[in-house]
Each structure stands twice: as structure tokens, then as C-alpha cells.
A and B are shown apart, each in its own frame.
Chain A
Amino acid sequence: MSIDHATVARVAQLARIRVAPEQREGLAAELSGILAWIEQLQAVDTDGVEPMASVVDRLLPERADVVSDGGIPEKVLANAPEAAHGYFVVPKVVE
């Protein structure tokens, strides 16, 4: 599987990472190299094999559905690049 410039641009947009047009060629070559190497897996017979999502062979624990944290807005906002009136500040998203 070879990745072209347009695919790099599309994936970069999905990942929200700006990639300058002049960087696309180098990245396309690198990513194609990695994918070509990964391609060998297609030859492995996995018919009837269950996909594994976790190695922990037990059910996730349950706990009481009660509030166990919170009430710490100052701590939550302490590392914000910009905060005001108890909120994170971002560029205008609604016209």
C-alpha cells in the first residue's frame, strides 16, 4: 500500500496536524515504507480468530454510580493556556 500526497493531506487533516505542502512528499515516502513493512501481516491466516482488545482476562470492575471527584475548577483550569470566568477560552466557534 503506497500513500500519496493527497492521502497524507487527508490523514493529517483527520489527525488535526498541519503538514505544509512541501513536507507531504517526505512523509508520503516514510509512511509508505512503514505500511509496506506492515503489509506482511496480510499473509497470516486469521480465519476464525477472535480479535483481542485487552490482555486482562477478567471483566471490568463495577463501582457504585456516585460522584467521587469534582468541585476543583481552579485545579482543572490551572494549566489552561487561556481561561476566564471558570471556562476554557477558545476562538469563536459559533457565528
Chain B
Amino acid sequence: MSAITDLSLAAMAAGLKARQFSAVEVAQAHIDAIARARHLNAFILETPEKALAMAAASDARLARGEGGALEGVPLGIKDLFCTEGVQTTAGSKILEGFVPPYESTVTANLWRAGAVMLGKLNMDEFAMGSANITSAYGNVENPWRRRGDNRPLVPGGSSGGSAAAVAARIVAGATGTDTGGSIRQPASLTGIVGIKPTYGRCSRWGIVAFASSLDQAGPMGRTVEDAAILLRAMAGHDPKDSTSVDLPVPDYAAALTGEVRGLKIGIPKEYRLDGMAPEIEALWRQGIDWLKAAGAEIRDISLPHTRHSLPTYYIIAPAEASSNLARYDGVRYGLRVAGDSLDALYEATRAAGFGAEVKRRVLIGTYVLSAGYYDAYYLKAQKIRSLILKDFTDAFREVDAILAPTAPSAAFAIGEKMDDPVTMYLNDVFTVPANLAGLPGISVPAGLTGDGLPLGLQVIGRPFDEATLFRAAHVIERAAGSFKPC
């Protein structure tokens, strides 16, 4: 038998249910794998004792013939999710040592389904970044390397620890969050599957807030089926999040029929960027051919305001962040740096506690919301956001889903693409529109670059139609095969 850690989450859950191995064995195999992969720096905090205790409880339930859909399955949790009694930092120094007295709804749902926690995964500070190089707890390394080049590469971000851990097979699956691409872009750069569900599908309660109108939690897994199983367990209505939607959660794995005949897939011409990498263009064409061969109808569509998405996002997200991050004041939790007055305490604490990218975004957000600029920036961005949503609404009258690349490039080395902040922001050019429109988007591995790095394709769908996304992604996955770092 191959190593337990190589199994898909679905196979692991089935093996546990059939008692082929115990939850404690599965947890221990992963704890050992994590210890061997510390160079990736995927974890901010490992919780092996907790994992073994939770696994023992799972074994007891399994022995009684009980247990949930994820009974005994070991997961990594992005360090943006509050976990009761376990340090939660959001990748920031300002939250070092913060131990939440409550559990986020999404993680509570996962534990209720029987999942086991391996620890808290590294991420860009407050989820602000696309390369996992802004964490106060160090950079995360991608388990993939370019062929013939030993330089470490970034895993993408902000859910970089989650992506690296899933790809390196040191967790069976992981949680991520996606405000502008933070699940899908790292999934693409590490050769795994990640879905940002519809805004409102998963509760945001207990997740450290970045931009509340855009943030959404979602799963990251090695297969489409794994992501489907995880999302079913994570999602659902929560009265504690007034934007969480009271709709039934379907059995997403049951949607994986391999059947897309008659499904209308839109190809947005505005996503064909000038100077697009030929490999990305070829991959997109390949995806179109796979779906066509499986019986889908391909239609050209137009999303004319899509090209305004990134600058719109970089007004709205920092504006909301500047408001959300006002709570880090050195008084109620987290870091405190002394000052002569209360204002001096605030200013010193926030200067020492926030990293450069977070400060930049809080300052931009404060500026665009300040008197005299609010209408010109924030209100303007909210209007363009309406236009971006309208483009999608119009398109979904003609098509059932949209196919596009996930990211404009494969994984890059630290130092590349880092000339200025805007160059880094361009990583999210294909992912941000779905956040602004609140739509679900999935990234599925679809091929390798010439130098052997994974690339993903993205399927965007109608609100709450994640099932169609999984179905289409599953067809791409079956055609493309799976990808594993050496």
C-alpha cells in the first residue's frame, strides 16, 4: 500500500470508515510528514497533541460505528480562523500570542464532521499578499521547483501555507480564505484544487476580517472530489453572520458525474490580456477543447468592465481593511507598545505590530475614505463594482459557467515580480472579478509549464451554483490528470 499521506481525502475517509487504518495512525503519519517538511514553513503552529487526542476520539466513534463525513481526517487550518484555546495570529505580529476564547463557525463545522486539526497554517499577514512573503512568521516555500533550477519558489498567497501543505501531502486538506484570489491563486501555483464559494455560502464568523464584503472561506484539496467533500462540511447558514445565506447545502460530491453535455461555457474575451504568456493561452485553449470534447457548448462572451476590477478592488479592499484593522489598538488583545498617552500607545503599537504591506493598505484605505476623497475613490469604486456584477449577470443569461485562467503565471522565485506593489497586485487579475461580484470560482490543475510547474484553470459560476463548478472542474481534472511535486 502506498503511504497514507498520499491518499486523497476521499480515500482516507473511506479507509477510516472501513477501519483499514486508525485515525491515530493517520494523524501520526501526517505529524511525521509535517516534521520532515519543516523547511516549507507551512505551519505557524503545529498541534500534534491536539491532533492525536482528536484522532483518538474519532477512533472511539468509528469503533461504535458512528462518525461524521470527515471522521479522523487530518486537516490544516489557515491561521485566519479563530480556534478556541489555540493561538491565532492572522500571520501578524500584532496578534502574536492571541488565544481565541471561541471557535470560528467553519472550523466548528469541520470538527463536528469529525475532522482532526494538525495545526495552524502560515499565510500572508491579514491575508494581504499573493506570494506568502508578508507573514510575520516567515516566507512559505512552494514544494514545487522549476526543472533544472533549485531556487525556492513562492506558493502564492495569501493561503500559501494551506496550498503548500496540501501539495506536499502533509495535510489531507486545508481551509483557506479568498478576498481577491487567496484560495485560487495559490491553488494554481501549487497544483491543487481550491474553491472560493459564493459570498454568503460559508459563515465568516470567527474569521479574522480583512475586507468584509469580499472575504469568503473555502476548501483546498488535492482533488475536485476532496474539495467538494470539504465544502459540504464547511458551508451552511449561521445566524452569527448576517450575510450568511439560509440555503440548503447540496451534496457536492454527488454532482461529480463527469457529465457536462449541453452545459454552456462562456469564454470572456476581455480575459485575453495583451502580453499574456503563451503557455497560459495554450492551457486555456486546451481547457476549452476538453470541455468541448465532453459535450459542453462553448460561447464567446464579453465582460466589458472586467479590466477595471483590479483598481476597483484596490480601493474597496483597503478601505474595508482600514476600518476592520482599527480594532488592533493594543488595549484588548495582542501586542501593546507603551506610550505616554492613549494615542501614542495606539500609534506605537500599530507601527510595531503591522508589517509594511498591511501599513500600506491601511494608509491607502484611510486616504480613500478621508474627507474630500470619499466620492472620488470609494463611491466611484462601488459604482464600478455594480457594473462589474451587471456584466456577469448579463453573461449568465447566456451561459452556465465561465472558463478562464486562474493566474497570469506559474510560481515565481522570491525577488521576481517584486519591483513595486502594483506588479504584485497583478497576480490577482483573473481572480478579483469573482470576489467583486460575489460569485463562486474554482481553480483546478490543468497542466505544467515547459519547466515543470503547475498551472490552473478557473471556472466561475452563478451564485450558489458551486455544484456546476465542481462538475466542470471534475471533467478538466479527468482530462488533465493529477500533478505531484517531486
Chain A interface (Cβ < 8 Å from any Cβ of B): 3, 7-8, 11-19, 27, 30-31, 33-35, 37-38, 40-42, 44, 46, 49-56, 58, 60-61, 63, 72, 75-76, 78-82, 88, 90-91, 93
Contact = CB atoms under 8 A, between A and B. Distances in A.
A51 B383 contact: yes
Q: Which label, helix, strand, loop or mixed, suits the secondary structure of the B interface?
A: helix
A58 B464 CA distance: 14
Residue among A3, A7, A11 with the highest chain B CB neighbour number at 10 A: A11
B149 interface: no
Contact of A16 (B199, B213, B346): B346
Interface in B308-330: 308, 311-312, 314-315, 322, 326, 329-330
Interface residues of B, number: 69
B387 A81 contact: no
Contacts of A79: 97-99, 101, 332-334
A80 B305 contact: no
Contacts of B351: 17-19
9 contacts: A3-B367, A16-B347, A30-B421, A34-B314, A37-B314, A46-B380, A49-B383, A56-B245, A56-B438
A22 B342 CA distance: 24
B341 interface: yes
Given A17-B347, A17-B351, A44 B420 contact: no
Contacts of B386: 49-52
Contacts of A17: 347, 350-351, 354, 359, 362-363
Nearest to B336: A81
Interface string B352-391: 0010000110111011001000001101111111110100
A8 B314 CA distance: 18
Contact of B308 (A44, A63, A82, A90): A44
Contacts of B381: 41
Interface of B: 97-99, 101-102, 199-200, 213, 239, 242-243, 245-246, 305, 308, 311-312, 314-315, 322, 326, 329-336, 338-348, 350-351, 354, 359-360, 362-364, 366-367, 370, 376-377, 379-387, 389, 420-422, 436-438
Nearest to A51: B382
Given A30-B420, A50-B383, A75-B101, A55 B363 contact: no
A14 B366 contact: yes
Contacts of B384: 41, 44, 46, 49
Contacts of B421: 30, 33-34
A80 B335 CA distance: 9
A88 B362 contact: no
A40 to B, nearest CB: 6
Contacts of B422: 33-34, 37
Residue among B101, B245, B344 with the highest chain A CB neighbour number at 10 A: B101
Contacts of A7: 367
Contacts of B382: 51-53
A60 B242 contact: yes
A52 B330 contact: no
A79 B330 CA distance: 10
B437 A55 contact: yes
A17 B101 CA distance: 28
Contacts of A37: 311, 314, 422
Nearest to B198: A55
Contacts of A18: 347-348, 350-351
B343 A46 contact: no
A52 B389 contact: yes
A40 B379 CA distance: 15
Nearest to A19: B351
Nearest to A80: B332
A3 B367 CA distance: 10
A16 B350 CA distance: 7
